[in-house]
A and B are shown apart, each in its own frame.
Chain A
Amino acid sequence: AKTTQPPSMDCAEGRAANLPCNHSTISGNEYVYWYRQIHSQGPQYIIHGLKNNETNEMASLIITEDRKSSTLILPHATLRDTAVYYCIVRVYYGGATNKLIFGTGTLLAVQP
């Protein structure tokens, strides 16, 4: 399934950052994954979910009931959260391969 994200967003330091993602063609057994890439580093896993909302030490993931969109929430953004955030729907081909296909992501700029 293809995902659509805004190319860029700003957020004030200390405030919540809400990053949206549309995945209207998601299949029933596909998971939503979020990764981020800080400049010059490898991508970093943040969180994933299937249909229920998820929370870990980094972020929360809110998935709509119809699963056609989701929102990644960073509750208290810091300057170190400035990165490109990728929303990915995991493609699963009958057990033969499991791929993560990265799109262009959202560049989140946290402002002081």
Chain B
Amino acid sequence: DARVTQTPRHKVTEMGQEVTMRCQPILGHNTVFWYRQTMMQGLELLAYFRNRAPLDDSGMPKDRFSAEMPDATLATLKIQPSEPRDSAVYFCASGFEGISYEQYFGPGTRLTVT
């Protein structure tokens, strides 16, 4: 049963520290998405990759967030420096793009910045 995996599942850090979240998409999928979920804002799209190339990161705060895909099996989301307002659950999803397609979500990384 192919699944998207995310590490770590939980992260508590102090303000100002660097945070790196990792995602392993489902093998064969060519799109990867990063979402953030908070009670106030709901699910927000942060970044979107197709064939490892960034297509849309308009939802991501550029000054402190960065998203990359070093290879087809790994996507990373970094926050540097982290702030308390970054506390949220971060989800990674992958899919195979076509005329219509679904996204498969990972279990999320719960980030708490104190």
Q: Which residues of A are in contact with B by a Cβ distance under 8 Å?
A: 31, 33, 41-45, 48, 50, 86, 90, 96-104
Contact = CB atoms under 8 A, between A and B. Distances in A.
Given A96-B55, A104-B42, A48 B105 contact: no
Contact of A42 (B31, B55, B102, B105): B105
Contacts of A33: 102
Nearest to A101: B45
Interface of B: 4, 31, 35, 42-43, 45, 48, 55-56, 91, 93, 97, 100-108
B91 A42 contact: yes
Nearest to B98: A98
B101 to A, nearest CB: 8
Contacts of A45: 102-104
A101 B58 CA distance: 13
Contacts, number: 44
B42 A48 contact: no
Contacts of A48: 100, 102
B21 to A, nearest CB: 13
Contacts of B43: 43, 86, 102
Contacts of A99: 45, 48, 56
Which residue, of B43, B45, B103, B104, has the highest number of chain A Cβ atoms within 10 A?
Answer: B43
Contacts of B55: 96-97
A96 B42 CA distance: 25
